């Protein structure tokens, strides 16, 4: 009998219209590998190769190089043989050499975060064979020098020594260019290239103490391991953390036959998008370079040309290039190689239809033959994300549900940021114009180095070009400006992914890192000077420019309408002022989940009365001060009720510790003493009395209302009177009075009694009534445990997850900055529980609280009003806990609405 044995495949082949894998296998093959397999299988011309799985990366992390090589050696050798037989060449054979690339590729695309090496297999003998075979000496030596340069950087760790320095290989090239009086890489003679190879190898020997490896297999294993290694490099880790990708995903390695874009004028390489990644417009676009290889287009060293005629004309207009100059020196691919263009256009159509999404593709033309090297769902700005989803819906490629699921809730945030005020823009002084690489508005102070992006509060990272090392700084900066590079440069692609405003290729800028200056014509700007970027037009503007609030219009508005069709859980807002309430309404809030009454007391004219109330020694004194506060509170509530037009408004009674209201400066203390006709000493004594060792756990929340019932009385009166006044004006008001920080039933019952008695009194005085609810926050773990008992009395629950998180973890929100960042860095915590709801722990209390509460009162209204109410994964959790609503800050309302709809759709699937 045969014993079934699990044989794990670690290497997946693709090429020649066939493949072992497919696009669904992204977790195992990485995004790049899965799509290479898929493209190969559907007949797109992809150079043959194979993918070493992400599982092997994990094995590498556990057991290291030797073991892994032993484990996959046979499979890799077989796969290379397969490539050799398809290509009719042989790896390491000087007579008929096969060259390969070794490319990283995790399950999600992380542009430039990990490493890729091209032209492996070259050495002094093979380069001669390549010359003989192709008859193209220049190409062979150019490939060789590129190989040493990339391999040196990626595998042998040849990096610049300080940030002001350039790459050691670039430095050698710069020297030679100077000596030879040339500017471009393409101007090197064959002898120059040979000299470069010699000098590069020499530099490697000097810096690493080892000769450059000549054995092609040693080169291959070195590169494969370097890719695995790069998964744990600083850049990749930062990118993973930024996006919340776990470390155990690992990266796959793709090994692929080289095709050469650097074989001469009939060759080239480029990047293209099936739609505009900045605006979402449905136009094919991209950039290419003739006689170039790999990263040349993205590296921003040469100015790339546009693929389409339309794009080329648009570009020329922005770059102020005349039509003659354009047609002569920067023709589009459509003009220069019409048949290749037609073929490429066909593939972009096929691929977009195949994947039903915007594709970002890489291609290479080798001596008149087109090869596709990569396709993926393109990164895009928030605006493009929304437009593309709605366009694909209208084009019938996807349905409404899919369109909603295509939109990342958090990315909507970009559309909710201020835009430049059109009037202010008209008056602005334009310094220069670059490419509108990533739309948006940014104002900030100039910095020149990524690691100084937090030198000021708002910075514009200004660079000749950016590289993957700059990621963290790009994320911190408000906007990014580069002198070089096109629409597909590193800066542009990464900025669009982050939704960060970016202008690239502003060629008139002269940037000097050493003097930290930026010069345009005769004008000089220094580090720290203010500039503004309009990422939608490419204008670089002097100084600060005023901004304006965004609105929900066009496709964004359509998306929001769709969310209403599918969402079953409401979204309310946390708003303390009529203004916030109106903004939230315009974003579609269905009520207010939290009005913090204390914020109203901090305004100048009120804080005095509030302080007098706090410092009063007698009930009578307190009542007097409260009497002054009553009309102010009432008018606040009237404003909010009016803004909400009959939608429910949850008002929380006074919550924070009283000492937050008292003055801590001597001058103000003196003033207060005079106003109250008491001595400064008495004021000081009272303030000292209010001091608490642990204010978060001290005299606050309903403990205030229970010790000073007159506060609850006054607030209830203000709420009920406001509601009655509005009803008289014909405007509905639906107050929901919320008691904070309840831990025991009696704490609630006592407050409820005061509220109901006061309301009845007001009803009698007015000779009229309104409907109102009395409920409680559930924010102390004990309240969640006792939820059934409390629910028997409360009309509603609102989970205050800020306090609930604080008390469940035992982390003081006010002090956590001392340890939380370290916990996150060390991985002790995966995410900040104050940002993303801890579903595992705190979530249990929420589930239990809701279930127990509803057991006692089946129609108990349940919501959440902590910061988590606007965080998509937490919103989904709330939906699954069967809450009636989530509540979040006004600007997160659209995000929560989408998250709510998505939660319903996901549950349905
Ligand atoms: P990234 O993930 O950073 O885009 P890639 O693995 O896609 O890195 O490779 C970097 C560059 O090298 C790309 O421009 C790609 O098209 C090019 N390249 C990779 N493999 C080959 C190959 N076999 N032949 C020609 N060009 C290649
Ligand atoms: Mg790529
Ligand atoms: Mg609280």
CB atoms within 10 A of CB 470: 23
What confidence tens digit (pLDDT) does each residue in 403-458 have? 999 999 989 988 887 788 878 888 889 999 888 888 889 999 999 999 999 999 99
Q: Which two tokens stand for residue 822?
A: 């370290």
Q: How far is the CA of 885 from the centre of ligand 2 (A)?
A: 43
Instruction: Give the H/E segment covering residue 516.
Output: none
Q: How far is the CA of 362 from the centre of ligand 2 (A)?
A: 7
CA dist., res. 779 & res. 793, Å (int)? 17
Q: What integer best gives the mean pLDDT of the chain?
A: 92
Q: Which ligand is nearest to the CA of 111?
A: 1
What is residue 547's three-state secondary structure?
A: strand
Q: Which atom of ligand 1 is nearest to the CA of 362?
A: 16
8-state DSSP, 4: P
Q: Which two tokens stand for residue 697?
A: 């756990």
Average pLDDT, stretch 371-390? 95
What confidence tens digit (pLDDT) does each residue in 592-636 have? 999 998 877 877 778 888 888 988 888 999 999 999 999 999 999
Q: Which two tokens stand for residue 840?
A: 């595992």
Q: How far is the CA of 361 from the centre of ligand 1 (A)?
A: 11
Residue 7 pLDDT exceeds 70: no
Q: Which ligand is nearest to the CA of 657?
A: 3
Test site for ligand 1: of 101, 120, 254, most ligand atoms within 8 A of the Cβ: 101
Between 120-129, 132-141, 772-781, 789-798, the lowest mean confidence (pLDDT) is in 132-141
Residue nearest to atom 3 of ligand 1 (CA): 112
Q: How far is the CA of 53 from the centre of ligand 2 (A)?
A: 18
* DSSP symbols for 592-625: EEEEEGGGGGGSHHHHHHHHHHHH-SSHHHHHHH
Q: Is 220 within 8 Å of 123 (Cβ atoms)?
A: no
Q: Which atom of ligand 1 is nearest to the CA of 373?
A: 16
What confidence tens digit (pLDDT) does each residue in 84-96 have? 999 999 999 999 9
Query: Given this model, what pLDDT does residue 1 score?
Result: 44
Q: Which atom of ligand 1 is nearest to the CA of 259?
A: 24
pLDDT band at 185 (very low <50, low <70, confident <90, very high): confident
Q: Provide the annotated active-site residues.
A: 490, 865
Residue nearest to atom 22 of ligand 1 (CA): 258
Give me the phi and psi of 272, to 5 degrees please. -145, 160
What confidence tens digit (pLDDT) does each residue in 635-674 have? 999 999 999 999 999 999 999 888 888 888 888 889 889 9
Beta-carbon contacts of 311 under 8 Å, excluding residues fewer than 6 positions away, are 283, 285, 286, 332
The CA distances from residue 583 to 410, 547, 580, 657, in Å, are 19, 16, 5, 29
Average pLDDT, stretch 681-701? 90
Query: Given this model, what pLDDT does residue 436 score?
Result: 87
Test site for ligand 1: of 52, 289, 374, most ligand atoms within 8 A of the Cβ: 374
Question: Cα dihedral angle (343, 347, 348, 349), rounded to 10 degrees?
Answer: 100
CA dist., res. 367 & res. 268, Å (int)? 8
What is residue 125's three-state secondary structure?
A: helix
pLDDT band at 3 (very low <50, low <70, confident <90, very high): very low
Give the per-residue SS3 of 31-49. Answer: HHHHHHHHHHHCCCCCCCE
8-state DSSP, 792: T
Residue 2 pLDDT exceeds 70: no
What confidence tens digit (pLDDT) does each residue in 128-158 have? 999 998 899 999 999 999 999 999 999 998 8
The pocket around ligand 1, CB under 6 angstroms, is made up of: 47, 101, 103, 111-112, 116, 118, 256-259, 294-295, 362, 364, 373-374
CB atoms within 10 A of CB 721: 20
Q: Is 785 within 8 Å of 750 (Cβ atoms)?
A: no
CA dist., res. 579 & res. 877, Å (int)? 30
Q: Is 705 within 8 Å of 598 (Cβ atoms)?
A: no
8-state DSSP, 151: H
For ligand 2, a single-atom ion, which residues have Cβ within 5 Å? Answer: 374
Q: Which ligand is nearest to the CA of 87?
A: 1
Query: Given this model, what pLDDT does residue 6 score?
Result: 54
Query: Given this model, what pLDDT does residue 782 score?
Result: 98
Test site for ligand 1: of 97, 116, 295, most ligand atoms within 8 A of the Cβ: 116
Q: Is 756 within 8 Å of 795 (Cβ atoms)?
A: no
Residue 166 pLDDT exceeds 80: no
377-411 exposure pattern, b = at least 16 Cβ within 10 A, e = fewer: bbbbbbbbbbbbbbbbbeeeebeebebbbbbbbbb
Give the per-residue SS3 of 746-780. Answer: HHHHHHHHHHHHHHHHHHHHHCCCCCCEEEEEECC
8-state DSSP, 22: -
Q: How far is the CA of 102 from the centre of ligand 1 (A)?
A: 8
Residue 300 pLDDT exceeds 70: no
* DSSP symbols for 386-430: HHHHHHHHHTTSS-HHHHHHTS-GGGGGGGGS-EE-HHHHHHPPE
Average pLDDT, stretch 462-486? 89
Q: Which two tokens stand for residue 344?
A: 């490429």
Residue 497 pLDDT exceeds 80: no
Q: Is 12 within 8 Å of 50 (Cβ atoms)?
A: yes
Residue 111 pLDDT exceeds 80: no
Q: Is 460 within 8 Å of 446 (Cβ atoms)?
A: yes
Residue nearest to atom 24 of ligand 1 (CA): 258
Query: Given this model, what pLDDT does residue 468 score?
Result: 76
pLDDT band at 5 (very low <50, low <70, confident <90, very high): very low
Q: How far is the CA of 769 from the centre of ligand 3 (A)?
A: 30
Residue nearest to atom 13 of ligand 1 (CA): 294
């Amino acid at each position: 009998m045969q014993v079934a044995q699990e044989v794990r495949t670690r290497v997946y082949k693709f090429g020649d219209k066939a493949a072992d894998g497919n696009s669904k296998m992204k977790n195992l093959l990485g995004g790049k590998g899965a799509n290479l397999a898929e493209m190969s299988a559907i007949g797109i011309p992809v150079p043959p190769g194979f993918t070493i799985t992400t599982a092997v990366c994990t094995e590498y992390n556990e057991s290291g190089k030797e073991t892994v090589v032993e484990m996959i050696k046979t499979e890799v050798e077989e796969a290379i043989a397969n490539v050799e037989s398809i290509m009719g060449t042989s790896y390491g054979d000087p007579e008929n050499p096969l060259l390969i690339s070794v490319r990283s590729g995790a399950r999600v695309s992380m542009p430039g975060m990990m490493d890729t090496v091209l032209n492996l297999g070259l050495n002094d003998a093979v380069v001669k064979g390549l010359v003989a075979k192709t008859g193209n000496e220049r190409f062979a030596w150019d490939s060789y020098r590129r190989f040493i340069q990339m391999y040196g950087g990626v595998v042998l760790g040849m990096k610049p020594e300080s940030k002001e320095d350039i790459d050691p290989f670039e430095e050698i090239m710069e020297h030679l260019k100077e000596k030879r009086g040339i500017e471009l890489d393409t101007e090197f003679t064959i002898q120059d290239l040979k000299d470069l190879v010699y000098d590069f190898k020499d530099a490697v020997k000097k810096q690493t103490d080892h000769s450059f490896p000549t054995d092609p297999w040693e080169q291959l294993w070195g590169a494969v391991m370097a890719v695995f290694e790069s998964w744990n490099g600083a850049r990749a880790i930062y990118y993973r953390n930024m996006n919340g990708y776990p470390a155990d995903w690992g990266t796959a390695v793709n090994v692929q036959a080289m095709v050469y874009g650097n074989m001469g004028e009939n060759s080239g390489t480029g990047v293209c998008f099936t739609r505009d990644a900045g605006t979402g417009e449905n136009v094919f676009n991209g950039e290419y370079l003739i006689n170039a290889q790999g990263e040349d287009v993205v590296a921003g060293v040469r100015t790339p040309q546009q693929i389409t005629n339309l794009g080329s004309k648009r570009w020329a207009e922005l770059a102020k290039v005349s039509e003659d100059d354009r047609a002569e020196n920067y023709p589009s691919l459509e003009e220069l190689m019409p048949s290749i263009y037609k073929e490429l256009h066909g593939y972009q159509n096929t691929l977009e239809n195949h994947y039903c999404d915007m594709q970002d593709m890489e291609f290479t033309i080798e001596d008149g033959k087109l090869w596709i090297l990569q396709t993926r769902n393109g990164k895009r700005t928030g605006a493009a994300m929304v437009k593309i989803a709605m366009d694909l819906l209208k084009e019938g490629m996807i349905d409404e549900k899919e369109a909603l699921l295509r939109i990342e809730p958090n990315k909507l945030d970009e559309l909710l940021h201020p835009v430049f005020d059109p009037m202010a823009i008209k008056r602005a002084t334009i310094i220069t114009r670059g490419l509108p690489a990533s739309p948006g508005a940014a104002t900030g102070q100039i910095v020149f180095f990524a690691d100084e992006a937090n030198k000021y509060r708002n910075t514009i990272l200004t660079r000749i070009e950016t590289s993957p090392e700059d990621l963290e700084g790009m994320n911190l900066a408000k906007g990014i400006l580069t002198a070089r590079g096109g629409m597909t440069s590193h800066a542009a692609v990464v900025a669009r992914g982050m939704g960060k405003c970016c202008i690239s290729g502003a060629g008139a800028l002269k940037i000097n890192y050493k003097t930290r200056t930026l010069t345009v014509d005769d004008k000089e700007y220094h580090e720290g000077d203010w500039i503004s970027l309009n990422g939608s037009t490419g204008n670089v503007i002097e100084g600060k420019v005023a901004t304006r609030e965004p609105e929900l219009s066009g496709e964004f508005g359509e998306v929001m309408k769709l969310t209403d069709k599918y969402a079953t859980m409401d979204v309310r807002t946390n708003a303390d002022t009529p203004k916030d309430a109106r903004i939230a309404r315009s974003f579609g809030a269905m009520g207010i989940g939290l009005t913090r009454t204390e914020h109203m007391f901090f305004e100048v004219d009120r804080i005095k009365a509030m302080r007098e109330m706090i410092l009063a020694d007698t009930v009578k004194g307190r009542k007097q001060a409260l009497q002054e506060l009553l009309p102010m509170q009432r008018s606040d509530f009237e404003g909010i009720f009016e803004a909400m037009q009959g939608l429910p408004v949850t008002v929380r009674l006074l919550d924070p510790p009283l000492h937050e209201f008292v003055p801590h400066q001597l001058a103000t203390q003196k003033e207060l003493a005079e106003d109250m006709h008491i001595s400064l000493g008495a004021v000081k004594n009272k303030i000292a009395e209010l001091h608490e060792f642990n204010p978060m756990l001290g005299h606050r929340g309903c403990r205030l209302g229970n010790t000073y019932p007159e506060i609850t009385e006054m607030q209830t009166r203000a709420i009920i009177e406001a509601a009655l006044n509005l009803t008289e004006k014909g405007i509905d008001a639906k107050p929901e009075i919320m008691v904070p920080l309840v831990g025991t039933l009696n704490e609630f019952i006592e407050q409820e009694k005061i509220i109901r008695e006061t309301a009845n009194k007001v009803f009698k005085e007015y000779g009229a009534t309104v409907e109102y609810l009395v409920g409680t926050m559930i924010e102390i773990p004990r309240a969640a445990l006792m939820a059934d008992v409390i629910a028997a009395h409360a009309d509603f629950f609102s989970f205050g997850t800020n306090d609930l998180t604080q008390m469940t973890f035992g982390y003081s929100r006010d002090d956590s900055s001392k340890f939380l960042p370290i916990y996150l860095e060390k991985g002790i915590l995966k995410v900040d529980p104050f940002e993303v709801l801890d579903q595992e722990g705190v979530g249990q209390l929420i589930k239990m609280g809701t279930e127990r509460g509803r057991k006692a009162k089946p129609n108990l209204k349940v919501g959440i009003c902590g910061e988590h109410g606007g965080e998509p994964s937490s919103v989904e959790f709330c939906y699954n806990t069967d809450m009636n609503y989530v509540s979040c800050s006004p600007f997160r309302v659209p995000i929560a609405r989408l998250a709510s709809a998505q939660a319903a759709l996901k549950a349905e699937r």
